Amino acid sequence: MRKKLLSISVLFILVLLHPDGTFGQGRSVTIKGSVVDSASGERIPYATVSIVGTSIGTVADINGYFFLRNVKPEQTRLRASAIGYRSKDFELPDSLKESTTVRLAIPESPKTMPAVEVTGESYVGGAKVAGTTIITSGELQRNVGMFKNDVVQYVTQLPGVVTVSGISSQYYVRGGGPDQNLVLIDGMQIYNLSHAFGLFSFVDPMIVKVADFSTGGFQAQYGGRLSSVFDIQTIDGDRYNYRAKGTLDLLSSDFSLTGPFSSGGNTSFVLFYRRPLFQDALQKFYGLGLPFDFYDGFAKATVESFGTGHVSAEFLTNADMISGSNSSEPDFRWTNNSAAVSGSYLVGDQYDMRFSISTSTYKAEQLPKDAQYLSYQLSEVSSPSLYAEVTSYSIARNEFNIGLLFNFPTYNYTFTNKYGTVIQQSLSETEPQVWAKYNFHFAGGLSFELGLRSDLQRAFEDLAGEPNGYIAEPRITLGYDFGEPVSVYATCGIYHQRLMNLNDENMVFTPFDVIAPLPEGSGDEQSTQYVLGVKLNPNVLTSARIEVYYKDFRNLVAVNRDKVYEYENDFIFGRGEAYGADVSFRYDAGESSYLEGSYSFSRTTRMFDGLTYFPRYDLRHQLNISAGMQLLRKFWLRARWKFSGGLPYTPVDGYFGLAQINPHNLPDYTGQALSSQVLFGSLNTSRLPGYQSLDLSASYDFEIDPAHFTLQGTLVNAYNKRNVFYINNITGDVVYQLPTIFNLSLSWGI
C-alpha cells in the first residue's frame, strides 16, 4: 500500500506540470466578480454565469464568486441565473479590459426550477461529485415533519441516510456510525447537533444559506471522517434594509434580525435566538427529563470588499438542560460554543483565496444525583483550527486547489461501563493536514479529478518506519457527460479518522455522544470507498440519480464494555463493510407542484472479537416519497410517506433459574428460591416490524402590511401506525414510536 501511495503521489505531481495549452488563441480577457441578490445584496452560491450566444460559462463557488477566462473582447453580454432567482442579462462595456470586475444582481423568483448546468470552452467547476446534494433555503421550506425549523430533519430524508426512530437528528450514512459524520458550520467543526436527546437539532433554516451534504466519496478538501460531510454555510444578512423574522410553534420560538451597519451597502449583520415555549412539551415523547430547557444563539458580522471579497466574524452557541423528575433519574447538561473569523477573496485574474480561524467546544455531562447505580459521565472536546485554501484557474478549462487545515483538539472524558469500571483520559493532539486536487475537463464531455490529502504527522511516522503511519489519502473521480440527458461518474478514495464515540452502537437510546480520541498506538480508523453513479436529466423539470457503493472499514475501535479487571484492555478492535444502492428522482414544476422520492438498499456488517453481526442501524430497505401542490396561489398542501425495514434486535432464546447460594449455609441452598435469568440469542439476529409513517402539512401565506405571515399545520403519523421502537427483553413490554401528533406554527417577517 505504501508503494502504491508513493506512486500516486509522484503521478499527481507530474500531472500538475501539465502545460497550459492556451497558445494561439489570440487576445482574450478575464471577467470576474460575484452574483448577488438584488434586494439584499446577499451573495448567491452556485449561480450560473454564461456568455450569451455561446457555450462559454461557469458556476460560481459556494461564496458566489466566479471567474470567466478566455473571453473574446467582443463578447460583452452576460447572463446570470440561480435556483430560486430570475435569469437576467447584463451588458458590459464594448471594449473589455484585460481584467474586468463585475457585480451581477439578480431578482428573486418564487419558482424553484433546477439551475441549468453550463459546459463549454471555459467551464470552471469540479468533476462529477458522488453522493452530494446541494440544499438551499428554498428546499428546506418543503420539509414535512414535526419540526419545521430543523435542517437535519430534511437530511434524514435523503437517500443513503437512516435513523433508528421516526424523528431523530442522529443519523447514519451508508453503514457508518454517527461519529463518522463530519459537520461543519462556516468551517467550524460541530461535534453534536442534538437537542432533546436527538429529537431535533439546533441548525435552524432561518440562518442557513446553503448546505452541501455528501454521503460518500467526498473530495480531498474534506477529511477526518469516514462516512459523510455536512458542510453548512450561514447567511451574511441584508446589506440594504433592516429585516426581522420569527417562528412560533408548540415547541419553540425563534427570532432573527438582519441589516446593514452603515448605508454604504458593504456591511451586514445577523442576530438569531431560539428558546422553547413550553418546557414540558417533550413529556409526550420521553417519560424522563423534566423540566426541559434549551437555547440557541447566533451572531455574525460581514464586510464586503468591492464585489471580490469579504470578511466575516461570527459566534454560535447552544445548550440543553434536562432535569430528572426524581432522584433516581440523572440530570443532563451539554453545550456547544463556536467562533470564527473567515474570508474569501478573488486575487488577480486567476486565484480564489479562502481562510478561516475558528474554535469549537463541546461539553456534555451526566449528573447522577443520589442514585447509587448511576455514574458521572463527561465528554469534552475543544478544537481550535486554522484553515486556508487557494484555487487557481490559470490553466484553460482546468482547476487546481491546494489547502491546509491545522487542528489542535483537546479531549477530556470520563466513562463507566456496565461493570462499574471507570475509563477516563485527557489528551491534546496536533493534526496538521494538507491537500491538493486537480480537475481536468477534456473535449467530448470527459472530466477527471485527482486529489491527495495528507496528515503530516502520520506521513512523518510512515517515513520513520512506524507501523501506524500513512503517506496520503488518494481520491479519484472520473466523469463523462453524454450530453442531455445522461452523465456517469465513478469515484474511489481512502479515508482516515482519529476520534471515536464511546457509546454502544446497539443501545436503543443514548442521551449524548461521548467523544474520545483513539487509543495511543492503535492507528487510525480507515475506510476505502467505491461509488458508481448515473445522473439523468430528460428535461428541465425532471432529474434522477442512481448510485451503487461499497465501503470497507478497517481498524474500527470500540470501548470494551465487558471489562472487569484493570489488566483487561479498555478497547477492542474490528472491521466492517457496507454496500448498497440509492435511487432518487424529482419532478419540479416550480411554483405549482413537485414530486420527489428515493429508495435505498443497504447491508452493513461489523466484526469484533470473532463475532460478525448487523449493527442496529442496518435497515436494509428505506423508501421516501414527498409531494406538494399549490392551491389558490397562497395555499400549499404537502405530504411525505416513509417506509423502512425493521431494526435489528437481539432475541431471547429462553430462561433459566439461578440458585442464590449462601457460602455460610451450604446445606440449605436447595431450599432457596431460584432467580430467573434471561438466555439471550445471537446479537441482532431478529428484526422488529417495518416502520411507516404518513406526515401531512398545510400552509397558507398572507400579508398584513408591512408584514407577511405563513400559518402551517402539521400532522405527524397521520394514520397512527404503531411503529415499534424496541422490545424490553426482560419484561416483554413493547415501546412504540410517536403516535399521531399535531403541531401548529406561525412564521412572520417584516
Q: Contact, 619 vs 180, CB < 8 A?
A: no
Please give the grid coordinates belonging to residue 427: 489528551
Angle value at C-alpha 113, between 107 and 114, nearest 5 degrees: 105
Question: Which comes out higher in pLDDT, residue 238 or 69?
Answer: 238
Average pLDDT over residues 409-417: 86
For the stretch 530-575, pLDDT in tens is 999 999 888 878 889 999 999 999 999 887 767 767 777 778 899 9
Note the Cα 594 to chain centre separation in Å: 24
**pLDDT over 80 at 335, yes or no:** yes
For the stretch 621-663, pLDDT in tens is 999 999 999 887 789 999 999 999 888 888 887 776 666 555 5
Phi and psi of 4, rounded to 5°? -65, -45
Average pLDDT over residues 509-529: 83
Note the Cα 202 to chain centre separation in Å: 13
Residues sharing a CB contact under 8 Å with residue 35, sequence separation 6 or more, in sequence order = 43, 44, 47, 49, 60, 64, 66, 80, 82, 104, 105, 106
Angle value at C-alpha 77, between 71 and 80, nearest 5 degrees: 95
Helix (H, G, I), strand (E, B) or coil at 2: helix
pLDDT at residue number 547: 94
Q: How far apart are the first and last CA of the chain?
A: 60
Number of H helices, E strands in the chain: 4, 49
Helix (H, G, I), strand (E, B) or coil at 151: helix
At 165, the amino acid letter reads S
Q: Contact, 56 vs 28, CB < 8 A?
A: no
Average pLDDT over residues 266-279: 87
Residues sharing a CB contact under 8 Å with residue 4, sequence separation 6 or more, in sequence order = none
Cα 270 to Cα 314: distance, rounded to the nearest angstrom = 9
Q: Looking at the DSSP assignment, which residues form a beta bridge with residue 575?
A: 607
pLDDT at residue number 253: 86
Cα 428 to Cα 382: distance, rounded to the nearest angstrom = 9
Residues sharing a CB contact under 8 Å with residue 388, sequence separation 6 or more, in sequence order = 353, 354, 355, 356, 403, 404
Residues sharing a CB contact under 8 Å with residue 444, sequence separation 6 or more, in sequence order = none
Question: Which comes out higher in pLDDT, residue 30 or 435?
Answer: 435
Q: Looking at the DSSP assignment, which residues form a beta bridge with residue 91?
A: 77
Q: Name which of 138-147, 508-517, 603-612 the model is least confident about.
A: 138-147
At 536, the amino acid letter reads L
Residues sharing a CB contact under 8 Å with residue 492, sequence separation 6 or more, in sequence order = 217, 475, 476, 528, 529, 530, 531
Cα 588 to Cα 172: distance, rounded to the nearest angstrom = 28
At 428, the amino acid letter reads S
pLDDT, averaged across the chain: 82
Q: Looking at the DSSP assignment, which residues form a beta bridge with residue 183?
A: 230
Q: Give the CA distances from residue 566 to residues 374, 423, 569, 615, in Å, rounded to whole numbers and listed in that order.
A: 20, 10, 8, 28
Q: Contact, 56 vs 373, CB < 8 A?
A: no
Please write down the HEC assignment for all residues of 82-135. CCCECCEEEECCCCCCCEEEEEEEECECCCCCCCCCCCCCCCCCCCCCCCEEEE
Burial of 321 (0-12, 13-18, 19+ CB in 10 A): middle
Closest CA to 163 of 675, 749, 723, 750: 723
* 684 backbone φψ class: left, alpha, beta (φ>0; ψ -120 to 50): left
Give 27-38 as a DSSP string.
--EEEEEEEEET
Q: Contact, 709 vs 720, CB < 8 A?
A: no
Cα 15 to Cα 452: distance, rounded to the nearest angstrom = 12
Please give the grid coordinates belonging to residue 739: 403516535
Residues sharing a CB contact under 8 Å with residue 263, sequence separation 6 or more, in sequence order = none
* 145 — pLDDT class (breaks 50, 70, 90): low
Please give the grid coordinates belonging to residue 505: 452502537
Closest CA to 114 of 490, 732, 587, 438: 587
Question: Which comes out higher in pLDDT, residue 680 or 676?
Answer: 680
Helix (H, G, I), strand (E, B) or coil at 323: coil
Q: Name which of 300-304, 603-607, 609-613 the model is least confident about.
A: 609-613
**pLDDT over 50 at 121, yes or no:** no
Please give the grid coordinates belonging to residue 13: 505531481
Question: Which comes out higher in pLDDT, residue 149 or 179?
Answer: 179
* 7 — pLDDT class (breaks 50, 70, 90): low
Residues sharing a CB contact under 8 Å with residue 226, sequence separation 6 or more, in sequence order = 176, 180, 495, 496, 497, 525, 526, 527, 551, 553
For the stretch 214-232, pLDDT in tens is 988 888 999 999 999 999 9
Q: Please state, as a whole number, how many other Cβ atoms lie within 10 Å of the Cβ of residue 674.
A: 10
Q: Contact, 117 vs 47, CB < 8 A?
A: no
Cα 97 to Cα 81: distance, rounded to the nearest angstrom = 24
* 19 — pLDDT class (breaks 50, 70, 90): very low
* 199 — pLDDT class (breaks 50, 70, 90): confident
For the stretch 653-673, pLDDT in tens is 777 666 655 555 555 555 556
Residues sharing a CB contact under 8 Å with residue 409, sequence separation 6 or more, in sequence order = 381, 382, 383, 428, 429, 431, 499, 517
At 169, the amino acid letter reads S
Cα 571 to Cα 609: distance, rounded to the nearest angstrom = 11
At 380, the amino acid letter reads E
Residues sharing a CB contact under 8 Å with residue 340, sequence separation 6 or more, in sequence order = 186, 187, 188, 312, 313, 314, 356, 357, 358, 359
pLDDT at residue number 395: 60
Cα 482 to Cα 484: distance, rounded to the nearest angstrom = 7
Give 152-205 as a DSSP string.
HHHHTTSTTEE-SSSS-S--EETT--GGGEEEEETTEE-S--EEGGGTEES--G
Average pLDDT over residues 333-361: 92
Residues sharing a CB contact under 8 Å with residue 234, sequence separation 6 or more, in sequence order = 185, 186, 207, 208, 209, 270, 298, 300, 314
Question: Look-up: residue for cell 405527524?
Answer: 716
Buried b (16+ CB within 10 A) or exposed e, 390-404: ebbbebbbbbbbbbe
DSSP-assigned letter for residue 737: -
Q: Which H or E run contains 316?
A: strand 309-322
pLDDT at residue number 674: 60
For the stretch 30-88, pLDDT in tens is 888 889 998 888 999 888 888 888 777 888 888 888 888 777 877 778 899 888 888 89
Burial of 654 (0-12, 13-18, 19+ CB in 10 A): exposed
Q: Looking at the DSSP assignment, which residues form a beta bridge with residue 271?
A: 257, 299
pLDDT at residue number 723: 86
Please give the grid coordinates belonging to residue 378: 463527561
Question: Look-up: residue for cell 487557481?
Answer: 392
pLDDT at residue number 675: 65
Q: Quick check: pTM over 0.95?
A: no
Cα 94 to Cα 77: distance, rounded to the nearest angstrom = 9
pLDDT at residue number 454: 94
pLDDT at residue number 526: 95
Closest CA to 378 of 505, 513, 561: 513
pLDDT at residue number 738: 79
Q: Name which of 162-166, 173-177, 389-393, 636-640 the model is least confident about.
A: 162-166
